[in-house]
Structure 1
Amino acid sequence: MSTHVLIVDDERDVREALGQTVELADLVPVRAGSYVEAKDHISTSFDGVIVTDIRMPGRDGFFLLDHVRKVDPELPVILLTGEGDIPMAVKAMSEGAFAFLEKPCGAKELLAVVAKALQARTLVIENRRLKLELDRGDAAARMLVGVSAMSDALRGRVRTVARTNAEVLITGEPGTGTPKIAEVIHLLSGAASRPFVKRPAAQLSAVDLAAALLEAGSGTLYLDEVTALAPAVQFALLEALEVGGTVRVLSGTSRDIVDEVAQGRFSTDLFYRLDLMRVHVPALRERPEDIPALFRHYVAQACEQANLVEPQITQDVIAGLMAQDWPGNARGLMNTAMRFALRISGGTDEDALVLGKGSGLAEQLAQVERSLLIEALQQSEGRSGEAADALKLARKTFYDKLTRHRIKPEDFRS
């Protein structure tokens, strides 16, 4: 987790006060009194965030923001603004600033925004580390993208089962990528140089199954959505497994296979033969920290295939991605990433948030306002008065905004 906070302000007392606030939150302050002092700390490897005043003698906060954008566009910059600077700060947000805070800001408000920025920076650093691993790692590191603990565990499980010759059952919701897991298991196995044959189970006849087994030879046969096998084909597969041979059979399903067995739709004997080892692929909503890494990966792939320059993936885009449940899992995310890379929209809710189609300044500011209201209610655990005070809003104004954005305080109470 990133912990450094570069504090830039020409007033020594302000720097010291902000530094103490940061230290009390177990973060590491780095103080600078000017752009010249600050720029030496700014690099693609800086694992923290920047909090800077706008108005400073000489090269001000906007000049610093511009420098940061040139060095590392994904390094979060939080602007501290006076009352008259807010229009400028809003403009700076559109140019890449992470957030702005009106001075004087309370410690709680500052630390909440810093925490979000540090979380975003941590994801960026982890994504870059992962890319280095992808460039020099094995098939699991290259093909199973993700920075979460669940992804680490998945890669470990895949490597373990790949070292055996046993049949493997791969489970996961639609779109989680069970066929890719099967391919990685094959590439990590001793049969990596031999054929990898993939067949959709629903379309297989007994004759097709025999042909697929023959084609796989001493390699690997993957049966996608294995519970869709017709009864006669289930029997043929069980016979082939009982006889034995050199083909390793991997199978995947998005259905509850135990229920399929209980309902008599899938052979009990075949289930036990296929389920010698199991790999479960978690849904994307269970590992949201993987969403930015996967999205960047898919965008890069799409741009490479279409010979396009990669578009900038801003913090607003990441926020739009993270706001979704992704019922289509990795496949749905990949589709959105492809449309994002090609600058087109499929008209989905995900595209609307991520691509920002039709959003003018008013709509963008409304989204920012809604995010601030939600954040204040989260911090106060749904206590409206406390949230209104944190935002320095009159009660009536606060409730009017909640009504306009269709936000209910009770949704944030534990």
Structure 2
Amino acid sequence: MSDVLLIEDDAHVREALCQTLELADLSVVQAGSFLAAEPRLTRDLAGVVLSDVRMPGRDGFHLLGVARRVDPDLPVILLTGEGDVPSAVRGMSEGAFAFLEKPCDPDALVDTVRRALSLRRATLEARRARGAQEGGDAAARILRGTSPQSQALRDTVRAVGRAAGPVLIHGEPGTGTSKVAEVIHLLSARAGGPFVKRAAPALDAASLEEALRLAEGGSLFLDHVEALPRGLQHRLPEEEGARLLAATNRDPATLLDVLEPDLFYRLEGLRVHIPSLRDRPGDIPVLFAHYLASACEQADIPVPTVPPEMQARLMAGEWRGNARALMNHAMRYAMGLEERTGTPRAGLAERMRAVERSILVETLERHGGQASAAARDLDLPRKTFYDKLARHGLKPEDYRDE
């Protein structure tokens, strides 16, 4: 873990700043541009950011904006040329921790960094304490359902959470493997550490190393572990810095065909099976009511009634997409796009507003709260996209994987 993430495009200035900080017993990671630094800007960054303002391409203000969206509590110290008052005013108004002129007085630089670092450590410690406090009932709070199968799942997750070692989570698509992994993390001794989620098919050697570094002291969740390239699988069995949580939609008995034996047998030790909705139909009305209330809250519309005949149809459904399919059905029902027996339909303007909001929410969720990617996906100018978010009371940071 580093104390300072230093971003400066001038190599000579960067080395000088690094030397000043290291002489003060502060550890430094250097980056020559925003693009080089961006992967390290995470909510769990244990240090502070020190960045030049004027850099080619994405400047320090862009970096400040990204850092604020990733974590509003992440201290960012900006550097600029002597006498650049407008930049200083802008930086402080946009949430910079401090603004220093170059060339920096060494004592002032070290003092500012230490104050920011002290604040950062206090913030992360408070989060860890809060996470540990909230983790105790996470299984009941997040894994809903009243059926015996759901109760058995909660009991299994609690036991696995208290244990140590890698975990294999398996279930059909849409059953919530990611949510179960998060609960296991919250119930574990690593609850105060980071929970890092990655899709195994998208990993290469560099991104896997980055994920392992970010997850140190916490948990690394690999979705679709069966698609992890064989050349990378040897990196996981020896990893001690992060607890490995892996998920698959395949039958575990077939995983030896695609996983190295060392990795397979490590994952085999602790296994969690998530039953499909077809296996627990009694939970479907409970889950539908929860998803319906959530959809109506997001769209700012009244919750419609669900007549008994509708509940019977829900329980008789196949729900091949499991919770995800039920959630989508609840969203359509909330917006009046499904027939509501005995319930007045919403007006056109209200329904169009609900549709737009649901599309924004779904896009933010799909892109993990990355506003730029979501705006590109919807083919919207950045300002228009943010105007729409503000109109619906949405914040990208609320949809980021933490």
Q: What TM-score comes out, normalization by structure 2 length?
A: 0.50
Larger radius of gyration: 1
Q: What TM-score comes out, normalization by structure 1 length?
A: 0.48
